[in-house]
Amino acid sequence: MNLVSRYEIRIGGFGGQGVVTMAVVLGETLSLIEKKFVVQTQSYGPEARGGASKSEIVVGDVEIDYPKVMEPDVFIVLSRAAYLAYIKGLKENGILIIDEDLVEIEGDLPDGVKVYKVPATRIAEQEVGNKQATNVVMLGVLCAITKIVTNEGLQQRIEERWPRFKESNLKALELGLKAGEAALVGQ
Amino acid sequence: MPERIMFTMGDIASAEGALSAGCKYFGGYPITPATEIAEWMALRMPQVGGSFVQYEDEIASITSVIGASWTGVKSMTATSGPGVSLMLEAIGLAVMTETPLVLVNIMRGGPSTGQPTRGQQGDIMQAKWGSHGDYQIIALTPASVQEMFDQTVQAFNLSERYRVPVFVLADETVGHMRERLVIPDEKDLKLEYRKLAAGDPADFLPFKPDEDLIPPMALLGSKYQFYATGLTHDERGYPTDKEDVQLELVARLNNKILHNADKIIDLERFMLDDAKIAVVAYGTPSRSARKAIKEAREAGIKAGMLRLKTVWPFPEDALADLASEVKHIIVAEQNFGQVYYMVKAAAAPTPIHLMAKPAGMPQLPHEILDKIKEIDSL
């Protein structure tokens, strides 16, 4: 990643899909391993499951002033409700990554937005054998498409964070990377 | 413990700050968005040989904190606006009995139950005026995860030094955001502890102040016998309805804070030296303002910010000085205007412009920039 003052990532889904955990793992990797300035926030309703939920990361090489996302450079979305609630504001020429089995493109997108479709939930369920790994698959996809974070950094963080579940999560990350690279080629 | 680095949320940073300050007692009742503090304390207190107790409600929580503090243990609770409302009677008791304690309020949308998962800064006046009678407390307003740690440590130091409840007032965004946190080596932290009673128990007067207006504290279970009450009391601690005792006590409870305001108040001046327009902000809106001011400077407008890290005691002198330096002051806060009234009183007749927003999203950077541009064109 080149020097950048502010890069904004938004992740949307429904409560329970792991969108907050995904942002936290990404934030931990960027902050603790890659030594970037990072702020991670989230927004959710009072429900424990369901409801539109979003998490956000602002990353840069200088201190982050305003902590929330204003115009995301990247929007990763895992549910239709979150797509409808949070699509507004996506930057012109930004990146939209959707779980193609759960989200369809509806309405107009800002000019120049690149759309990447990946079956993240299907990959987690069928190839990793655990739907709960969907968010880690998506981390791999994000890494391949944006290069905002390194694969090595994510691998290290996953090993540190989930020693008991590191094998399945590293597999999910690798499958996500492959799916992201395939989506890049397909563009 | 040596230095540790975490990527963690403001709530947890505050809990770690308390532990680093030597807090060994947490009594509380979980409430969004302060629940993570209780959760973290439930995990960590047993590891440091302290106690965590979850009570049936906020009233029991805060009174347990008062009791624990009187045994000599640094003690705290954490809650949000609805919980503070229930605790206010006991806050008055803590003020009157001069009990050191820390209360972290992660401010959410109000009034009443409001919006539990959304932030606001609606509890600024409540912290100062919520309990009845004339008194002073101290309230700190952090704006980052690191400051949640640093200012919680500071809150303990101030509460111990002045024997007064200290509030940490953080909006939900600061409480729930995650950033890098550096927990310093414990050797590098400067910690304070209350003055303790000394001398012959037969001559001991539990509420006789030293020259600094603060009485040394006797602890429950020590050799001193004493009485502490919410009733107006003389130096012996005995209740009285004498007018001179009331006047002297109320003056002392206020003056022990007001006379030390310059030692307590912590402010940040950002790009103010040649500024014509100043933004006054604290917590999350101050981070919007910082971005707006950088952009205003790029556009050639001389803007700056006075960021309040302490709201009580209110930095009146600093605001009066600011009013003489700049032509306009903008107050941006996540409420309908609370610090605004204090700024108006201190900074008149300089024009004061309020940007009020009593809702979950703070004033956005471009909104503050637009306001700066609008005022610059006047």
> Residue A48 — pLDDT band, cuts 50, 70, 90?
low
Q: How confident is the model at residue B349 (pLDDT cuts 50, 70, 90)?
A: very high
Look at B176 and A66 and tell me if their CB atoms are within 8 Å: no
Is A99 part of any domain? yes
Closest CA to A110 of A149, A159, A71, A69: A71
> pLDDT tens digits for B154-172?
999 999 999 999 999 999 9
Give the separation between CA B207 and CA B236, rounded to whole angstroms.
6
For A46, A72, A90, B198, B205, the CA distances from A142, given in Å and listed in that order, are 28, 14, 16, 64, 68
Alpha helices in A29-105 (DSSP H): 80-86
Share of chain B above pLDDT 90, in %: 99
What confidence score (pLDDT) does residue A43 get? 86
Per-domain residue ranges of chain B:
4-188, 269-376
State the DSSP code for B204: -
Gap from B11 CA to chain A (nearest CA, Å): 13
> For the sheet containing B352-356, what is the strand order?
B267-270, B303-308, B277-281, B328-333, B352-356
Q: Is residue A2 part of a domain?
A: no
Pick the residue from chain B with its C-alpha nearest to A25.
B7
pLDDT value, residue B292: 98
CB A111 within 8 A of CB A92: yes
Cα(B60)–Cα(B81) distance, integer angstroms? 16
Please give the mean pLDDT across all residues of chain B.
Answer: 97
Decide if B7 and A42 are in contact by the 8 Å CB cutoff.
no
Residue A10 backbone class (left: φ over 0; alpha: ψ -120 to 50; beta: rest) = beta
Q: How far is A38 from chain B (nearest CA, A)?
A: 6
Is the pLDDT at B347 greater than 80? The verdict is yes
- In this prediction, residue A50 carries a pLDDT of 67
pLDDT, residue A16, reads 85
Residues of A in contact with B288 (CB under 8 A): 65-66
Rounded mean pLDDT, B341-369: 96
Instruction: State whether CATH 3.65.10.10 applies to domain B4-188.
Output: no
- Interface of A to B at Cβ within 8 Å reads 24, 27-28, 31-32, 37-46, 64-68, 70
The domain in which residue A60 lies consists of: 7-186
- Nearest Cβ partner of B287 from A40, A43, A66? A66
Q: Return the half-sphere exposure (C-beta side, CA atoms, 13 A cut-off) of residue B146.
A: 10
Omega cis (within 30) before B349 = yes
Give the phi and the psi of residue B130 in degrees, each rounded to 5.
-65, -40
The C-alpha atoms of residue A183 and residue A187 are separated, in whole angstroms, by 6
What is the helix (H) or strand (E) element at residue B67, kind and residue range? Answer: helix B58-70
What CATH number is given to the structural domain containing A57? 3.40.920.10
Query: What average pLDDT does the structure give for chain A?
Result: 94
Instruction: Kindly tell me if the per-residue pLDDT of A49 is higher than 80.
Output: no
Q: At what angle do helices B81-96 and B58-70 cross, to 10 degrees?
A: 30
Look at residues B36, B19, B9, B308 and name the one whose alpha carbon lies nearest to residue B184: B19
Rounded to an integer, the average pLDDT of A112-116 is 97
Q: Do domains B4-188 and B269-376 have the same CATH topology?
A: yes
Mean pLDDT of B57-83: 98
DSSP per-residue string spanning A100-126: TTT----S---TT-EEEEE-HHHIIII
Beta-carbon separation of B117 and A43 below 8 A: yes
pLDDT tier at A5, thresholds 50, 70, 90: confident
Whether residues A31 and B179 touch (CB distance < 8 A) is answered with: yes
CATH topology of domain B269-376: Rossmann fold (3.40.50)
pLDDT tens-digit map of B283-341? 999 999 999 999 999 999 999 999 999 999 999 999 999 999 999 999 999 999 999 99
Nearest neighbour of B5 by CB, restricted to A32, A41, A66: A32
**Contact B117/A44, CB-based, under 8 Å?**
yes
Count how many pairs of residues, chain A against chain B, have C-beta atoms within 8 Å: 59
User: Which whole number is the average pLDDT over B106-134?
Assistant: 96
- In this structure, the strands spanning B101-109 and B75-79 are parallel
- pLDDT tens-digit map of B229-241: 999 999 999 999 9
As a whole number of angstroms, the distance between CA B219 and CA B214 comes to 15
Contact B180/A38, CB-based, under 8 Å?
A: yes
Q: Is the pLDDT of residue A1 over 90?
A: no
Asked whether the ipTM of the predicted complex exceeds the cut of 0.90, the reply is yes
Reported as a single tens digit per residue, the pLDDT across A120-132 is: 999 999 999 999 9
Residue among A39, A42, A65 whose CB faces B290 most closely: A65
Rounded CA-CA distance B260/B166 in Å is 14
Residue A146 has pLDDT above 80, yes or no: yes
The pLDDT of residue B14: 99
Strands (E), chain A: 7-15, 37-43, 50-60, 74-77, 95-99, 114-118
Residue B1 reports pLDDT greater than 90? no
Radius of gyration of chain A measured on its C-alpha atoms: 15
Strand pairing category for A7-15 and A37-43: unpaired
Phi first, then psi: give them for residue A54, nearest 5 degrees.
-140, 150
Average pLDDT of the residues in A6-23: 94
Res A51: pLDDT: 75
| Cβ distance of B290 and A66 shorter than 8 Å | yes
Residues 6+ apart with CB under 8 A from B66: B75, B90, B93, B94, B97, B99, B101
- Average pLDDT (B76-89) is 98
On whether residue A1 sits in a domain, the answer given is: no
Amino acid type, B142: P
Q: State the DSSP H helix or E strand holding residue B78, giving kind and residue range, or none if neither.
A: strand B75-79
Residues of B contacting chain A (CB within 8 angstroms): 5-7, 32, 116-117, 173, 176-180, 284, 287-288, 290-291, 294, 360-361, 364-366
Give the contacts of B156 (CB within 8 A, at least 6 positions apart): B18, B21, B22, B23, B74, B76, B100, B102, B166, B191, B192
